[in-house]
């Protein structure tokens, strides 16, 4: 099976712009979660989608949003970019949302905000 794919892999934007990142989960996986990784902060949970519905949301401002399509592909959008949004954005998929599901990660999108 193909793994989780994320596009683009690298992105450079300037402050104030908006950006959309895409994630295609492993075939058959219906849950997609997004994380932000910055140095020294580990992986910070952004949100999780299951069957096109946002199931859970982390502690991020409303500038961060997402959606999931009927084929389970997901996008996240960041509006009005700030310098502090520079990070590695990771997408993870799992079969469902039960408590003991394992998440599988994509390679990430490296975003640099100038």
Partner 1 sequence: DQQVKQNSPSLSVQEGRISILNCDYTNSMFDYFLWYKKYPAEGPTFLISISSIKDKNEDGRFTVFLNKSAKHLSLHIVPSQPGDSAVYFCAASGNQFYFGTGTSLTVIP
Sites for partner 1 among residues 17-76 (CB under 8 A): 33, 35, 40-43, 45, 48, 56, 58
User: Which of the stretches 11-19, 63-71, 78-86, 101-109 binds partner 1 when contact is defined by CB under 8 A?
Assistant: 101-109
Q: Where do the DSSP E strands lie in 16-86?
A: 19-24, 31-38, 42-50, 53-57, 64-68, 74-78
Q: What is the four-CA torsion angle of 107, 36, 81, 84, rounded to 10 degrees?
A: -120
Structure tokens at 114: 């100038």
**3-state DSSP call for residue 103?**
coil
DSSP state of 40: T
- Tell me, by CB under 8 A, how many residues bind partner 1: 25
Interaction of residue 4 with partner 1, rule CB under 8 A: yes
User: Which of the stretches 14-22, 60-68, 70-78, 106-114 binds partner 1 when contact is defined by CB under 8 A?
Assistant: 106-114
Residue in 19, 21, 24, 106 binding partner 1, rule: CB under 8 A: 106
CA distance 86 to 112: 5
Chain residues in the site for partner 1 (CB under 8 A): 4, 6, 33, 35, 40-43, 45, 48, 56, 58, 90, 92, 99-108, 110
């Amino acid at each position: 099976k193909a793994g989780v794919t994320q596009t683009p892999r690298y992105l450079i934007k300037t402050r104030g712009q908006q950006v959309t990142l895409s994630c295609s989960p492993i075939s058959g996986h219906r849950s997609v979660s997004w994380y932000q990784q910055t140095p020294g902060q580990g992986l910070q949970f952004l949100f999780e989608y299951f069957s096109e519905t946002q199931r859970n949301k982390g502690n991020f401002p409303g500038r961060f949003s997402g959606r999931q399509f009927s084929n389970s592909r997901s996008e996240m959008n960041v509006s009005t970019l700030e310098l502090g949004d520079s990070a590695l954005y990771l997408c993870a998929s799992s079969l469902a949302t039960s408590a003991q599901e394992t998440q599988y990660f994509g390679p990430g999108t490296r975003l640099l905000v100038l």
